[in-house]
């Protein structure tokens, strides 16, 4: 059902070559230095990867969700940070494309597709993650627009963004009905970058705090009116969860390849440890899990492209793929033994990277709640 056609095979092969030739040699340094890879990001723009899902009118090639997941998987196989940078850009392009006026689209989307403009999503706060309705950042109506006030935490691109889609409420007492989306310029007065977050994995994304102190957002930069912001945020989560699943598969694939190569060359008990049945069973389980995760991810992508209700499907894909990837990376490190615990091995970095995929875009517990509600409502 999910055999790739010629076009998607070309996308996969092109991305794989880029990932292996450009990204992989820099992956360890990106993690160690925790510095955003601007050069690689702009190369993705030049290659058309950042603009791939945009309409032609904004410089894109109008690729579908399935093609996007193929790209994410290949990038994540090389570097989780580079893959996630690609994903955030795509999600922000989607929001601006669907919610902004054409003048705003023309102003930002071509540059985002080239990698010249970087857009963050400012949603998470110190006390709110998956509970979007509890957002405390406010957007107060004023003459000609809104004033934003609040603090966001763990924001990808916080330290480098040119613009930010800000999730804020016009009235906290309204709960989800007060939530809107606002596009803020990083050069606006009162837009401040706070502390950089020191995170365990997926380093190099300038993750940190954003502070808004009476930041003015003109009316034409309001993306979703109060009451519609919650719906739009949840819609974005559907794409984000597919992206998380695709990245998880890519990380798992990288770990499996590392484990397979190590098992063939590491000798113990008179031969390669790959000859030991215990190791063979671990490798077999890795392969099965990766194939299942890949199929679930592509099924979710195909369903989204078909326009059907994907809430349960994408949550199932994200839940399975993220937890599968954790198991695969754990087993890969176990196969490496003491060597896997060394910072000089790829699997050590993968172990730190993979852990967040059971948290991002809704924790595993949230996914189970979503899935159960969908089942019980049927």
Task: Report the CATH number that the domain containing residue 33 is assigned in CATH.
Answer: 1.10.540.10
CATH of the domain at 369: 1.20.140.10
Whether residue 149 is contained in a domain is answered as yes
The verdict on 152 and 75 lying in the same domain is no
The verdict on 192 and 271 lying in the same domain is no
Residue that is last in its domain, among 95, 117, 139: 117
Whether residue 323 is contained in a domain is answered as yes
Please say whether the beta carbons of 158 and 199 come within 8 A. no
CATH of the domain at 147: 2.40.110.10
Please say whether the beta carbons of 333 and 347 come within 8 A. yes
User: pLDDT at position 251, please?
Assistant: 98
Residue that is last in its domain, among 68, 101, 117: 117
Whether residue 1 is contained in a domain is answered as no
The encoded tokens of residue 340 equal: 């896997």
The verdict on 162 and 271 lying in the same domain is no
The verdict on 107 and 14 lying in the same domain is yes
Tokens 């049927």 appear where?
Answer: 378
pLDDT digits (tens, 9 = 90+) for 163-217: 999 999 998 888 878 889 999 999 999 999 999 999 999 999 999 999 999 999 9
The verdict on 146 and 95 lying in the same domain is no
Q: What is the DSSP string of 283-350?
A: HHHHHHHHHHHHHHHHHHHHHHHHT---HHHHHHHHHHHHHHHHHHHHHHHHHHGGGGGSTTSHHHHH
Beta-bridge partners for 164: 120, 184
Tokens 């955030």 appear where?
Answer: 88
Residues 198, 372: Cα–Cα separation, whole Å = 34
The verdict on 125 and 93 lying in the same domain is no
The verdict on 315 and 336 lying in the same domain is yes
Number of domains in the chain: 3
The SS3 assignment for 52 reads: coil
The verdict on 234 and 188 lying in the same domain is no
Residue that is last in its domain, among 117, 147, 168: 117
Whether residue 112 is contained in a domain is answered as yes
Beta-bridge partners for 46: none
Residue of 99, 125, 348, 361 marked catalytic: 361
The verdict on 97 and 134 lying in the same domain is no
Residues 204, 349: Cα–Cα separation, whole Å = 13
User: pLDDT at position 229, please?
Assistant: 54
pTM above 0.85, yes or no: yes
Please say whether the beta carbons of 66 and 302 come within 8 A. yes
User: pLDDT at position 190, please?
Assistant: 97
189 given a catalytic annotation: no
The 10 Å Cβ neighbour count of residue 7 is 11
Going by C-alpha positions, the residue among 231, 252, 240, 307 that lies closest to residue 73 is: 252
User: pLDDT at position 163, please?
Assistant: 98
Strands 163-169 and 119-122: parallel
The 10 Å Cβ neighbour count of residue 288 is 11
Please give the chain's pLDDT, 378 residues, in tens.
467 899 999 999 999 999 999 999 999 999 999 999 999 999 999 999 999 999 999 999 999 999 999 999 999 999 999 999 999 999 999 999 999 999 999 999 999 999 999 999 999 988 775 666 678 999 999 999 999 999 999 999 999 999 999 999 998 888 878 889 999 999 999 999 999 999 999 999 999 999 999 999 999 999 977 766 566 666 667 889 999 999 999 999 999 999 999 999 999 999 999 999 999 999 999 999 999 999 999 999 999 999 999 999 999 999 999 999 999 999 999 999 999 999 999 999 999 999 999 999 889 999 999 999 999 997
Residues 219, 147: Cα–Cα separation, whole Å = 11
Residue count of the chain: 378
User: pLDDT at position 172, please?
Assistant: 83
The verdict on 201 and 272 lying in the same domain is no
Tokens 């189970």 appear where?
Answer: 368
User: pLDDT at position 350, please?
Assistant: 98
The verdict on 113 and 124 lying in the same domain is no
The encoded tokens of residue 29 equal: 């340094």
Strands 179-185 and 191-196: unpaired
User: pLDDT at position 25, please?
Assistant: 98
Instruction: Provide the domain limits for residue 314.
Output: 230-377
Residue 149's Cβ-side half-sphere holds a number of Cα atoms within 13 Å equal to: 9
The verdict on 325 and 241 lying in the same domain is yes
Beta-bridge partners for 193: 210
């Amino acid at each position: 059902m999910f055999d790739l056609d010629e076009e998607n095979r070309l996308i996969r092969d092109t991305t794989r070559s880029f990932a292996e030739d450009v990204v992989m040699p820099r992956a360890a340094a990106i993690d160690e230095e925790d510095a955003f890879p601007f050069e690689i990001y702009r190369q993705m723009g030049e290659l058309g990867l950042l603009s791939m899902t945009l309409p032609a009118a904004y410089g894109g090639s109008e690729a579908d969700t399935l093609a996007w997941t193929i790209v994410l998987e290949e990038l994540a196989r090389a570097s989780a940070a580079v893959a996630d940078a690609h994903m955030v850009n795509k999600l922000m392009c989607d929001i601006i494309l669907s919610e902004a006026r054409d003048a705003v689209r023309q102003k930002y989307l071509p540059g985002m597709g080239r990698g010249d403009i970087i857009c963050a999503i400012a949603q998470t706060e110190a006390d709110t993650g998956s509970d979007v309705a509890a957002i405390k950042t406010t957007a107060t109506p004023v003459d000609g627009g809104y004033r934003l006030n609040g603090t966001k935490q763990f924001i990808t691109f916080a330290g480098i963004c040119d613009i930010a889609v800000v999730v804020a409420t016009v009235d906290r007492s309204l709960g989800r009905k007060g939530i809107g989306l606002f596009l803020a310029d990083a050069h606006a007065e009162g837009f401040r970058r706070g502390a950089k977050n020191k995170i365990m994995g997926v380093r190099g994304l300038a993750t940190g705090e954003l502070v808004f102190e009476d930041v003015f957002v003109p009316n034409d930069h309001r993306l979703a009116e109060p009451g519609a912001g919650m719906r739009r945020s949840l819609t974005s989560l559907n794409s984000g969860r597919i992206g998380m699943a695709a990245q998880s598969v890519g990380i798992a694939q990288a770990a499996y390849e590392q484990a397979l190569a190590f098992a063939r060359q590491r000798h113990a008990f008179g031969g390669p440890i790959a000859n030991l049945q215990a190791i063979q069973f671990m490798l077999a389980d890795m392969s099965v899990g990766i194939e299942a995760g890949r199929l679930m991810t592509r099924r979710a992508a195909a369903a989204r492209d078909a326009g059907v209700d994907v809430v349960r499907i994408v949550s199932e894909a994200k839940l399975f793929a993220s937890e599968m990837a954790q198991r695969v990376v754990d087993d890969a490190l176990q196969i490496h033994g003491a060597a896997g615990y060394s910072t000089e091995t790829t699997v050590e970095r993968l172990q730190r990277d993979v852990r967040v995929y059971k948290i991002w875009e809704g924790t595993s517990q949230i996914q189970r709640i979503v899935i159960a509600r969908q089942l019980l409502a049927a």
